[in-house]
Structure 1
């Protein structure tokens, strides 16, 4: 019976088209329906801060070099993951990530809590030659990042594009994007004070690659790695919050 129905459906153009629409609609509903529950499922993070222009540039380099193909940025709620990497990831932590970099493959470790775990110079050494700090690593080296000057000319456009998809960058942030990228990697420069004024006192201002003669792609990538998992403390607060215990008499 089902075979006859299938044959009849295939030979009727209108019917076959309607069947395709119905099947596609099921997939669409599955994808779209959860969006209506976002206000109830995404945690609040009043302390959420924005990526600085230098961190945005570093994130772009991270994507450009395919780092997401070997490193995920999403810690599951499984006990072994939490014990190894730290508090499990919350949806709100990716609020300003375009695109999101949760990933699914771990040739290397998850990086969701890498920010602040190691020093700037550790990251530089690791990117220059991973085997110097992790002997068993099979990660390729990225030496050229230390000599590639960072192109800051298009950072304002990057921030404008992010604002168009919901990231609340101000006109002042967009106008000063290039200067702020320079100032964050040049702590002794006059531009460095503007970074903390616009992005907060906790913003890391540092000669990330250890050199103060210019801003390199290494500066940008290390700046990004140092902020991963630190845009908000929501995950740590959520993990440390007292758990509600149900009354056994209820």
Structure 2
């Protein structure tokens, strides 16, 4: 048996054993991937919507009323135009340096943040925002935990909501108007990377089949600006209905994180405001 001291003093031997350990660890993680059908979970939800015929036209009953049907569609969808620009702001401001978006399958993580993160939840993130360190809390399931006003106050002055916070202030998010004249170009670039935003009728119809009509309408590239304005007006994310600011976008993004999957089991203790 090789003594530990001998291993540490022999550079070649230490390198050999290091490579062996790394190789074994890599094989343990990589080999199983070749024996499973997929690494992305299939997450479905039920939607009730107007039934469409083979030409994607509404089916009417004998009284001329639209026939409603309930069916299964993909629960995980791409970001709306407003959420997409909010994610861009999140990345541009460096939020990912302090906040991960990956809840690990451990008891303490479950109790603090909820159900562990699924690969499916990040399938449309280019690149994903998992992260490996946390200066602030994980944000994978922050959506819906606090209201819009909380997020606005917290981003403008973090200590107003969390007195012990060391997070910097971001007051300009509330002061700067959101530039979205090029939102179509952003979505088009994401489409090239494989995110299913639709540019053709065939892609739109495929999205109807995959996500449902309401979501498919939000993913039409040519309607991006219109959909963005409508969502901002309806959500009033910056608490100022008279303006469309960067705050609208980033709060819309934060509020959707972790909300696309409905877990049946208990998701852990209540999300503490002061964490």
Task: Show structure 1 runs of 4+ deviating over 4 A.
Answer: 29-38
- Partner of residue 42, structure 2: 44
Gaps in structure 2 of 5+ consecutive residues: 1-11, 13-22, 45-74, 200-216, 267-275
Among 214, 227, 245, the alignment partner of 1:180 is 227
> How many residues matched?
195
With normalisation by structure 1, the TM-score equals 0.72
CA deviation vs aligned residue, 1:94-130 (integer Å, no higher than 9, x gap): 0111110000110000000100000000000000100
Alpha carbons of 1:162 and 1:65: their partners in 2 closer, same or farther (altered >3 Å)?
Answer: same
Contact in 1 for aligned 2:100/2:138 (Cα 8 Å)? yes
Map 1:47-66 onto structure 2 (within 5 A): 47-66=75-94
Q: Distance in 2 between matches of 1:37 and 1:67?
A: 36
Map 1:66-215 onto structure 2 (within 5 A): 66-171=94-199, 173-187=220-234, 206-215=235-244
Structure 1 residue 32: Cα displacement:
8.0
Tell me, what secondary structure is at the counterpart of 2:184?
Answer: helix
CA deviation vs aligned residue, 1:62-91 (integer Å, no higher than 9, x gap): 000000000000000110000000000011
Of the structure 1 ranges 88-97 and 176-185, higher mean CA displacement relative to structure 2 is found in 176-185
Structure 1 residue 60: Cα displacement:
0.2
RMSD: 2.3
- Partner of residue 249, structure 2: 220
- Partner of residue 20, structure 1: none
Q: Distance in 2 between matches of 1:42 and 1:92?
A: 5
Contact in 2 for aligned 1:50/1:231 (Cα 8 Å)? no
Point out the structure with the larger strand share: 2
Gaps in structure 1 of 5+ consecutive residues: 1-5, 7-25, 188-205, 241-250
Point out the structure with the larger helix share: 1
- Partner of residue 248, structure 1: none
Contact in 2 for aligned 1:49/1:232 (Cα 8 Å)? no
Contact in 1 for aligned 2:33/2:39 (Cα 8 Å)? no
CA deviation vs aligned residue, 1:218-248 (integer Å, no higher than 9, x gap): 0000000000112333xx24x56xxxxxxxx
